[in-house]
Structure 1
Amino acid sequence: MSRLDQKLELAFAPLATAVQTGRIPGGVLGIVDNAGNRVMRSLGAAQLVPQHREMTDNTWFDLASLTKVIFTTQRILALADAGRIDLDAPLISALPDFRQYNPDNWERRVTFRQCLGHQTPFPAVFPLYTYGRDPQLLRAFLLQHQWEAGPAVYSDINFMLLGLALERIERQGIRQMDPGPGFAWSADPAQSAATEDDSWRHRVLVGEVHDDNCSALEGAGHAGLFGTADAVLDFARDRLADTGPDAPIRTPLSARRTHGWERPYEGWSGGELCSPASIGHTGFTGTGLWIDFERGCAWTLLTNRVHPTRHFDSGIVALRRAVGDLINSD
C-alpha cells in the first residue's frame, strides 16, 4: 500500500462514520501530491429525496465558496499580473458607478486587495435575492445600496463586487466566462450531488447553484462553480507545481487570510497539523480544499451536507478538522 493509500485509509474513517450515522448523505475524499499521484474514495448517497442515487468518485458538486479561490481569485490575480488592474487601486477603477451618488463614501475607497483578503467593512451576509429576480436590477442594487460599515469579516459581498468588476473588465457575464478545465456553471442532475430542498425555489436543487444570491444574479463571483473531486485535485496539483513562496495566494494579508484563501490559525478547517505553508477554503454546501506547500500535498473533501436541509447539525466543522489531522499525522 502506497503512502497516499495509507493516508486515504486513515482519513476516510471519519467520513465513513459521518455517513453511517446519518450526519451527511455522502462524500468524496481525494488526495494529491506534488508528483501528481492521487487517491480518491466515495461513499454514501448523492441524493436522498425525492429519489435515491449513489455517490461516486465522478459525482459533480456545487462547490459554493470554492468559487472564490478556484475561479475569482485566480482571474483577479491574472489581471493584476497582466497589468490590467492594480490590486491596491479602488474598485471604482473598474466600477466607476459604485456608490456614484456619494463620491465621499467609504465604499469608493475599497480596493481589490482588501476584497480578496476580506478586509472591508461590508456585512457578513445580505439576502440580495429577496429584492427581486431581475439580475441587472440586483447588480444595480449591489452597486448603489448604502452599506452599513462594520468590523472586517468574511463577506460574500467582497467577491460579488469582484465578480462585477470581472464582468465589466471582460465585457461579459460570469456565466459566459470559461470556468477553467473540468469546471462548469451547472451540471447534469443525473451526475450531481443534490443540495437543499430550497424554500425560495420550492424544489430540491440538483445541478443548479444552491446559493440564492448567485441564482438571482444569474452568475456571481462568490459562488456558482461546479466540479468533480478530480477537477479540484487537478487545480490543487497545478498550484503545488507552479506556486512559489512569494505568490499572492501564499502571501499573508492578515492573521487568517492571504489573497482569497485562509491560512492556518487555531481552530481552522484544515486541522491543527498543517504546516504554516498551507492555504485552504471551504464552501457552504459541504466542500473544501486544502493545500500544504511544505508537505507537497493537497486534499479535497466534497460532501452534500446541506441535503435535504441546512437546518441540521451535520458536524462538518469537526469532520474537516479530523480529516486534515489524519492526513497530516505523520
Structure 2
Amino acid sequence: MPLESWIGQAFAPAAASIGTGNIPGAVLGLVTADGKRAVHWSGAAQIQPEHAPISRETWFDLASLTKVIFTTTRILHLVEEGKIALDDPLATVIPDLRQYDMNAAERRLTFRQCLAHQTHLPAVEPLYTYGQDPNTLRAFILQRVWQPGPPVYSDINFMLLGIAIERLTGQALIDQPLPPRFSFRPDPALCAATERCTWRGRVIRGEVHDENAFALGGASGHAGLFGTIDGVLDFAQSVLDGSALSPDSVKAIRTRESDKRTVGWEGFHPGWHGGDSCSAGTIGHTGFTGTGLWIDFERGLAWSLLTNRVHPSRHKDSGILALRRATGEQTVALFNRHARP
C-alpha cells in the first residue's frame, strides 16, 4: 500500500495537537530509500499578528536540525576531501582558539568530540546579551575561559564547528552553498512564524529564532538553517541511499560515541523523541522550534515532523515530546503494516 494512503493516519497525533491548540500547524513527511514519498499538513503557519495557512511549500526555521543537515554533513565532507580528520584538534584549523593559554583545554578539543557532544563546554550561553557584532562575538567564543563540566548536549560545540567551517572554506556560514529547498536567507512571506520575541520586539518570521545565531549574523553552526519538508526529505533520502556521504561517514553517524550520541546525531534509546518502535540503529535529531528528523536504516524509512510549536511563545507546554514520540510510533507501526516488504 503506498505511503500516501496511510500518512493521514500517521499525522493523527499532530492533527489532535493542532485541534487542542498545542501547536499552530505541522507538516509530516515520509520517504524511503528508493524514493517513495508522502507529505501531509494542516494548521497555520502564523496566527499572530495575522493568520497564514501552512502548506507543503512552507519554510521552517529548522533550529538544531542545522547541526545535522548542514554542520555535521559539511564537516564530514571536509574529512572526505582530506582537509581535516575527525580526531584533529579544532586548533589545527582555528589556531587562535584560546590563544593566550596554549595549555587551555579548548585547544585539545577534536572535531569528533564536538560533533558527539563529548566536551566540557556548557549547553548554552546567552551570548546575544553581550552584543550583536558577529565578529566580536566569534572572538568572544574563541577566547572565553569556559568552565569545566561533564559532557552535555552543547550549542557551543557547534558554534566552534561553524567557525571551523568558515576558516576551512574561507566563506561565512550565511554565504555557504546549500542544496535546493534550504536557505539561511529565506523569503519571510514563505516561512512559518516562530516566537513573539521580547528581545527583538516582534513576531519572528523568516529570521532565525535562536538569539545567539541571530546575533552571530543569522547563521551559526548550531542554528540558522531554514528548509521545506521536501528539502528535509531530499536530505534524508540521500542519507538512506548512500549518496550524501561516503561509507566511512555513514559509519560515523551510525556509530555510538557515547550511550546516546553518534557523530552529530542522537541514536535510538528507550524513551527518546523518536518513539520506542524504531530499529535499534535509528538516528534522529530535533530542533527547539518544533522540528525533527528520524532515519531508520533497517527499515529504509525516514520521517520528519516540522511544527512551529514556539509560535507565538515558547513559554507554554506544547507537548512536543509526546507528539514526536506518538508520531514515530504511529509511523513505524503503519509502515510495518502497509509498506514493509
Q: Where do residues 217-296 of structure 1 align in structure 2 (5 Å cutoff)?
A: 217-218=216-217, 219-242=219-242, 244=247, 247-296=251-300
2:39 pairs with 1:35: no
Give, in whole Å, the separation in 2 of the partners of 1:35 and 1:109: 42
Name the residue aligned to 1:117.
116
Question: 2:325: which partner in 1?
Answer: 321
Runs of 5+ unmatched residues, structure 1: none
List per-residue Cα deviations over 1:215-252 (Å, max 9, x = no partner): 00012111000110000001001111016585211121
Report the Cα distance in structure 1 between the residues aligned to 2:93 and 2:235, rounded to whole angstroms. 28
Q: Which residue of 2 aligns with 1:73?
A: 72
Alignment length, in residue pairs? 329
Q: CA deviation at 1:254?
A: 1.2
Report the CA distance between 1:47 and its aligned residue.
0.1
Query: What is the RMSD computed on CA atoms of the aligned residues?
Result: 1.1
Deviations 1:40-69 (A, max 9, x none): 111000000110000111100000000000
- Using the alignment, how far apart are the partners of 1:228 and 1:299 within structure 2? 13
Q: Which residue of 2 aligns with 1:4?
A: 3
Query: 4+ residue runs of structure 1 moved beyond 3 angstroms?
Result: 243-246
Cα distance in 2 for residues equivalent to 1:3 and 1:321: 23
Identify the residue that residue 95 of structure 1 maps to in structure 2.
94
Query: Secondary structure at the residue paired with 1:328?
Result: helix
Counterpart Cα distance in 1 of 2:263 and 2:123: 18
Q: Secondary structure at the match of 2:294?
A: strand
Q: Paired residue for 2:308? A: 304
Provide the rounded CA distance (Å) in 1 between the counterparts of 2:151 and 2:134: 27
SS of equivalent residue, structure 1 residue 223: coil
Name the SS of the counterpart of 1:39 in structure 2: strand
Q: CA deviation at 1:3?
A: 4.0
- Give the deviation of 1:7 after TM superposition: 4.1
**Cα distance in 2 for residues equivalent to 1:6 and 1:313:** 32
Give 2:141's aligned residue.
142
1:178 aligns with 2:182: no
Counterpart CA distance in 2 for 1:190 and 1:176 is: 21
Map Cα deviations across residues 104-152 of structure 1 (whole Å, 9 max, x no partner).
1111111000000000010111001000011000000000011001010
Deviates more, 1:62-71 or 1:99-108: 99-108
TM (norm. structure 1) is: 0.98
Cα separation, 1, equivalents of 2:236 and 2:85: 26
Provide the secondary structure at the position in 2 that maps to 1:159: helix
Question: Aligned residue for 1:15?
Answer: 14
Encode CA deviations 1:269-295: one digit per residue, 9 max, x unaligned. 110000012110000000000000100
**Partner of 1:141: helix, strand, or coil?**
helix
Identity %: 58
Q: What's the CA shift for 1:77?
A: 0.5
- Extract unaligned runs of 5+ from structure 2: 337-341
Distance in 1 (CA, whole Å) between partners of 2:287 and 2:6 is: 23
Secondary structure at the aligned position of 1:35 is classed as coil
* Distance in 2 between residues matched to 1:181 and 1:94, nearest whole Å: 29
Judge conservation of contact 2:61–2:289 (CA < 8 Å) in 1.
yes
Q: 1:86: Cα distance to partner?
A: 1.4
- Offset of 1:5 from its aligned partner? 2.9
Aligned partners of 1:11, 1:168: CA distance in 2, in Å? 43
The letter for the 1-side match of 2:323 is L
Corresponding residue for residue 56 of structure 1: 55
